């Protein structure tokens, strides 16, 4: 563990590295999740991910712009500089079938990307709120849907995928947390056109985030996207075919699978908050962070952030591993 320079990081890594005492790690994970629950309750408390800056002096505007975080400390600590705005982030599902991937595999990646976009916009809104001189600057995170102000998001994919999954629905995007009236949808006839359009959009400096969905990006187009993102500090979230070769030249690559959703607060038979089993496969800023075991994150529509799923309480007994440790189905499958 010679690379540990920072006590905050070391705490996080000891939570996650499998070699450092299973029981301790598990205990820490539980504490972590309890902590985040408390943070849920106290919505105005400073989040741990951005707590490096003293209270009441939010990060400088430029830094807010240049990075954003998932909102879950365990995950954010893997990334030394958060998710960098000036780079390309690739998100892939886990192929379930032997050949190709099903719609569900794609949806896991797309869902994760959409929620990262929500985080990005909220980070923006928070920064603007703190810095705008007038109170007209928007009413903060959570007020995005349907308000008609706020940054634009561009969604780009080839027509063939649109034919398979249907078209993005305003109601659905609003329930994810994106403002449907500030979304530009680009559907191209060919996959190459989609990559070109994404690159053009990244260079435009008019968008908070570009979500691109393509079968595959080869090294050259991926590098072009990465450079374009770097020029304007517009992040690109690229969702690619679960079974395709990963693109090079990405700052991070995430492997995402849907876990069974959290129990619903009021109805035991209904699906609750969505959960994702996340693995960081590549992290350019800190290669050691990559290739760790996957984490189970839960997205909360209320706080609009990810959190470690509290898996102990809600899993039935048979889902626990042989050592008594609860392992979510999705993680086992992966």
Partner 1 sequence: MPSQQPFALIESGAHGLAIVAVNEAAARLGIEAGTSLADARAAHPGLLSRPAEPEKDRIALLKLARWAGRYGPNRHVDGNDGLWIDVSGVAHLFGGEENLLNNMTQHLLSFGVAVQAGLADTLGAAHALARFGCPPDAAWAMAPVSETRASIGFLPVEALRLDAPRILLLKRLGLRHIGQLYDIPRDSLARRFRSSDVAAAVLVRLDQALGAMEEPRRPMQPPPVLSVARAFAEPLISSEALEAFTNELADELAAALAAKDLGARVLRLTFYRADGTSGTIAAAMSTPCHDARHMMALLSEKFSSIDAGFGVDILRLDAVRAGKRGANQKGFASPQGAAFRDPSELVDRLVNRLGRDAITVLRPNGSHIPERAEVRLPALDVLAAETSSRVQSYTPPWPYPKRLLRPAFMLSRPEPIQVTAGVPDGPPASFIWRRVERRVARAQGPERIAPEWWRTLYLDEDQKRPRTRDYYRIEDQQGAMYWVFRHGLYEGEEGSERPSWFLHGLFA
| Positions 79 through 98 that interact with partner 1 (CB under 8 A) | 96
Please, are residues 70 and 218 in contact by the beta-carbon 8 Å criterion?
no
By the 8 A CB rule, do 296 and 33 touch? no
Q: How many residues bind partner 1 (CB under 8 A)?
A: 73
Least separation in angstroms between residue 30's CB and partner 1 is 23
Q: Closest approach of Cβ 38 to partner 1, in Å?
A: 24
Question: Taking a C-beta distance cutoff of 8 angstroms, is the pair 319, 328 a contact?
Answer: yes
Q: Which stretch binds partner 1 (CB under 8 A): 40-48, 77-85, 135-143, 216-224?
A: 135-143
Q: Is 259 in the site for partner 1 (CB under 8 A)?
A: yes
- Please state the closest distance from residue 107 (CB atom) to partner 1, in A: 5
Rounded to the nearest 5°, which phi and psi values hold at 271? -70, 140
Decide: is 317 part of the binding site for partner 1 (CB under 8 A).
no
In the bound state with partner 1, the residue whose beta carbon lies nearer, of 110 and 279, is 110
Q: Which residues contact 52 (CB under 8 A, 6 or more apart)?
A: none
Cα–Cα distance between 169 and 175 in angstroms, integer? 10
Please give the Cα distance from 254 to 306 (Å, whole number).
14
Per the DSSP assignment, residues forming a β-bridge with 214 are 240
Q: Is the dihedral of CA 214, 255, 218, 290 positive or negative?
A: positive
CB of 156 to partner 1, least distance (A): 9
- Subset of residues 1 to 60 that bind partner 1, contact rule: CB under 8 A: none
291 interacts with partner 1 by CB under 8 A: no
What distance, in Å, lies between the first and last C-alpha atoms of the chain? Answer: 26
> What tokens appear for 184 in the block?
């530009």
Which residue's CB is nearer to partner 1, number 207 or number 283? 207
222/244 Cα distance (integer angstroms): 14
Structure tokens at 30: 């539980």
- Residues 294, 332: Cα–Cα separation, whole Å: 10
A 10 A CB-CB count for 227 gives 16
Nearer to partner 1, 1 or 189 (CB): 189
Binding status of residue 256 toward partner 1 by CB under 8 A: no
For residue 104, the minimal CB distance to partner 1 (Å) is: 3
Which position among 53, 270, 291, 313 is part of the footprint of partner 1 (CB under 8 A)?
A: 270
Closest to 233 (Cα-Cα) out of 113, 64, 109 = 64
For partner 1, the closer CB: 230 or 272 = 272
Nearer to partner 1, 172 or 321 (CB): 172
Q: How far is the CB of 73 from partner 1 (least distance, A)?
A: 24
Does residue 139 belong to the site contacting partner 1 (CB under 8 A)? no
What are the residues whose beta carbons fall under 8 Å from the beta carbon of 18, sequence distance 6 or more? 25, 293
Question: Applying CB under 8 A, which of residues 110, 121, 251, 309 lies at the interface with partner 1?
Answer: 110
The interface mask with partner 1, positions 161-200, x = CB under 8 A, is --x-xxxxxxxxxxxx---xx-xxxxxxx---x--xx--x
CB of 290 to partner 1, least distance (A): 24
Cα(257)–Cα(129) distance, integer angstroms:
34
Asked if residues 87 and 101 have their Cβ atoms less than 8 Å apart, the reply is no
What part of residues 196-235 is at the interface with partner 1 (CB under 8 A)?
196-197, 200-201, 204-208
State yes or no: residue 242 binds partner 1 (CB under 8 A).
no
CB of 171 to partner 1, least distance (A): 4
**The binder of partner 1 chosen from 119, 224, 258, 282 (CB under 8 A):** 258
């Amino acid at each position: 563990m010679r690379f540990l320079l920072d006590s905050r990081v070391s705490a996080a890594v000891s939570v996650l590295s499998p070699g450092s005492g299973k029981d301790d790690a598990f205990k820490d994970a539980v504490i972590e999740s309890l902590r985040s629950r408390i943070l849920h309750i106290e919505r105005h408390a400073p989040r741990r991910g951005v707590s490096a800056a003293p209270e009441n002096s939010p990060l400088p505007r430029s830094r807010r712009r240049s990075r954003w975080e998932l909102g879950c400390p365990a995950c954010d600590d893997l990334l030394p500089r958060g998710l960098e705005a000036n780079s390309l982030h690739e998100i892939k599902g886990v192929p379930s079938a032997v050949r190709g991937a099903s719609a569900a595999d794609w949806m896991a990646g797309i869902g994760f990307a959409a929620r990262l976009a929500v985080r990005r916009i909220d980070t923006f809104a928070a920064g603007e709120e703190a810095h705008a001189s007038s109170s007209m600057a928007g009413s903060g995170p959570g007020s995005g849907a349907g308000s008609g102000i706020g940054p634009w998001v561009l969604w780009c994919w080839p027509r063939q995928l649109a034919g398979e999954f249907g078209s993005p629905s305003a109601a659905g995007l609003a329930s994810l947390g994106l403002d449907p009236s500030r979304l530009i949808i680009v559907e191209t006839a060919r996959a190459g056109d989609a990559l070109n359009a994404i690159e053009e959009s990244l260079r435009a400096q008019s968008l908070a985030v570009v979500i691109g969905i393509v079968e595959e990006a080869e090294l050259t187009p991926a590098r072009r996207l990465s450079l374009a993102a770097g020029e304007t500090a517009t992040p690109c979230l690229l969702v690619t075919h679960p079974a395709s070769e990963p693109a090079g030249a990405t700052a991070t690559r995430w492997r995402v699978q849907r876990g069974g959703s959290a129990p619903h607060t009021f109805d035991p038979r209904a699906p609750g908050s969505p959960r994702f089993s996340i693995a960081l496969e590549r992290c350019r800023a800190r290669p050691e962070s990559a290739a760790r075991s996957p984490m189970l994150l839960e997205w909360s529509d209320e706080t609009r952030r990810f959190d470690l799923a509290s898996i102990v309480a809600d899993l039935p007994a048979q889902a626990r591993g042989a050592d008594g440790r609860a392992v979510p189905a999705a993680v086992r499958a992966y």
